[in-house]
């Protein structure tokens, strides 16, 4: 780790997104980070934070945390629809923000977040777990470098047997099952990954059509399966989501076709099939130090002045939110939605 100019004081705004505990470990591992405090309304989560960090400084709300502490960075792990309020409050104090994926529950909220960050001159990073996969990074770079020509088909599936069933905490799944707080159900939680990748590789589509439904679960929730089809000028993007899949993945993820070949990722290997040449398996390069996870990357960008790029770029994440918004509107109206929506 190269010499850094300072120690960054980090606070945690809400603890109801289960990704927080993995991210907490990554913040703890960074030598230039001091974990200062957390704010959450749930006493059990505050106690868990104290137990896992040894930090006794906790508040009954993230608002109180921001009011009383001098921070450099906020890790936001709240409900999707809480993003604008957290970013606006942090921006008012000049505090940088890392917020868990997706960017928000609705497009208007993503725009609020982006505007607040821009106006205050703070850094805003949306943390997508896909950004830290060596295989996906290698695949994305191969696509960007033209290894399969121009992409005309990109498909990704995100699925498991449901938040409650796989052991998520009730603090997490209760808001995932709340359309206002989450934005939808599986559609928002899991169609978002491909929306982000397609926004990064292909930009904003021209049209979106989508379907969602509750096919398996016997308790109230917005949807447990969804599919969004993105129509670009010369490409399709397809994102599938399920909270009812009891098995692992039986196909590679993603599956990408281009004018000069095809590419898939299976496990931690990239399978490249160039047109007219033998297919080959590529072991991915390790992600370089400073870009291996969200804490490293944000601090790297703050130290170097580099803009936040790739899947975690707030502008890319905002366009992913527009794809999700269009998908939600299409699924509920039965109509094809033209983009841009605004």
Specify the CATH number for the domain of residue 93: 3.40.50.720
87 with 174, same domain?
no
253 with 112, same domain?
no
Q: Give the tens place of pLDDT for each residue, 105-128.
A: 999 999 999 999 999 999 999 999
46 with 161, same domain?
no
177 with 205, same domain?
yes
76 with 21, same domain?
yes
In a domain, 304, yes or no: no
CATH classification at residue 267: 3.30.360.10
138 with 56, same domain?
no
Residue 142 has pLDDT above 90, yes or no: yes
211 with 142, same domain?
yes
Q: Give the tens place of pLDDT for each residue, 66-79.
A: 999 999 999 999 99
Residue 1 has pLDDT above 70, yes or no: no
Residue 2 has pLDDT above 60, yes or no: no
Provide CB contacts within 8 A for 191, sequence distance 6+.
158, 210, 226, 227, 228, 239, 240, 241, 324, 327
Q: Give the tens place of pLDDT for each residue, 237-296.
A: 999 999 999 999 999 999 999 999 999 999 999 999 999 999 999 999 999 999 999 999
In a domain, 2, yes or no: no
In a domain, 305, yes or no: no
Global pTM value: 0.97
DSSP secondary structure letter of residue 275: T
81 with 185, same domain?
no
Residue 154 has pLDDT above 60, yes or no: yes
Q: Give the tens place of pLDDT for each residue, 172-202.
A: 999 999 999 999 999 999 999 999 999 999 9
Mean pLDDT within 291-306: 98
Residue 4 has pLDDT above 70, yes or no: no
Query: What is the edge-to-edge ordering of all strands in the sheet holding 58-59?
Result: 58-59, 33-39, 8-13, 73-76, 96-100, 124-127
Partners of residue 157 on adjacent β-strands: 240
Provide CB contacts within 8 A for 335, sequence distance 6+.
209, 329
Q: What is the pLDDT of residue 342?
A: 80
Give the range of the structural domain holding residue 19, as residue numbers without chain letter. 8-128
Residue showing tokens 């896909």 = 130
Q: Which of 66, 101, 128 is the last residue of a domain?
A: 128
151 with 281, same domain?
yes
Q: How far apart are CA 183 and CA 187, in angstroms?
A: 8
Phi/psi at 193 (5° precision): -60, -50
172 with 85, same domain?
no
Q: Which of 85, 101, 128 is the last residue of a domain?
A: 128
Q: Give the tens place of pLDDT for each residue, 214-242.
A: 999 999 999 999 999 999 999 999 999 99
Residue 88 has pLDDT above 60, yes or no: yes
* In contact, 287 and 158? CB cutoff 8 Å: no
Q: What is the pLDDT of residue 173?
A: 99
In a domain, 297, yes or no: no
In a domain, 87, yes or no: yes
Q: How many domains does the chain have?
A: 2
Q: Which of 128, 146, 172 is the last residue of a domain?
A: 128
Q: What is the pLDDT of residue 5?
A: 74
148 with 263, same domain?
yes
57 with 78, same domain?
yes
């Amino acid at each position: 780790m190269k010499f850094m100019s300072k120690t960054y004081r980090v606070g945690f705004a809400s603890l109801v997104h289960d990704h927080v505990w993995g991210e907490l470990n990554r913040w703890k591992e960074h030598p230039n980070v001091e974990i200062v405090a957390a704010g959450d309304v749930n006493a059990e989560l505050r106690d868990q934070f104290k137990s896992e960090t040894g930090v006794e400084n906790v508040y009954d709300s993230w608002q109180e945390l921001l009011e009383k502490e001098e921070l450099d960075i906020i890790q936001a792990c709240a409900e999707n629809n809480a993003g604008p309020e957290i970013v606006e409050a942090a921006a008012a104090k000049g505090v940088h923000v890392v917020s868990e994926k997706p960017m928000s529950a609705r497009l208007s909220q993503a725009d609020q977040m982006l505007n607040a960050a821009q106006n205050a001159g703070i850094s805003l990073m949306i943390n997508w777990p896909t950004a830290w996969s060596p295989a996906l990074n290698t695949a994305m770079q191969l696509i960007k470098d033209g290894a399969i020509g121009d992409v005309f088909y990109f498909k990704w599936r995100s699925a498991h047997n449901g938040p409650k069933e796989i052991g998520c905490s009730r603090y997490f799944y209760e808001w995932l099952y709340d359309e206002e707080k989450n934005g939808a159900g599986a559609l928002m939680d899991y169609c978002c990954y491909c929306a982000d990748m397609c926004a990064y590789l292909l930009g904003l589509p021209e049209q979106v059509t989508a379907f969602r439904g509750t096919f398996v679960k016997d308790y109230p929730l917005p949807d447990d399966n969804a599919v969004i089809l993105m129509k670009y000028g010369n490409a399709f993007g397809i994102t599938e989501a399920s909270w009812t899949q009891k098995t692992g993945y039986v196909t590679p993820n993603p599956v990408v076709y281009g004018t000069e070949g095809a590419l898939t990722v299976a496990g931690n290997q990239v399978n490249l099939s160039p047109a007219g040449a033998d297919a080959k398996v590529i072991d991915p390069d390790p992600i370089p130090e400073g870009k291996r996870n969200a804490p490293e990357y944000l601090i790297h960008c703050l130290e170097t002045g580099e803009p936040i790029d790739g899947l975690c770029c707030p502008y890319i994440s905002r366009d992913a939110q527009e794809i999700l918004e269009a998908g939600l509107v299409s699924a509920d109206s039965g109509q094809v939605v033209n983009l841009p929506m605004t």
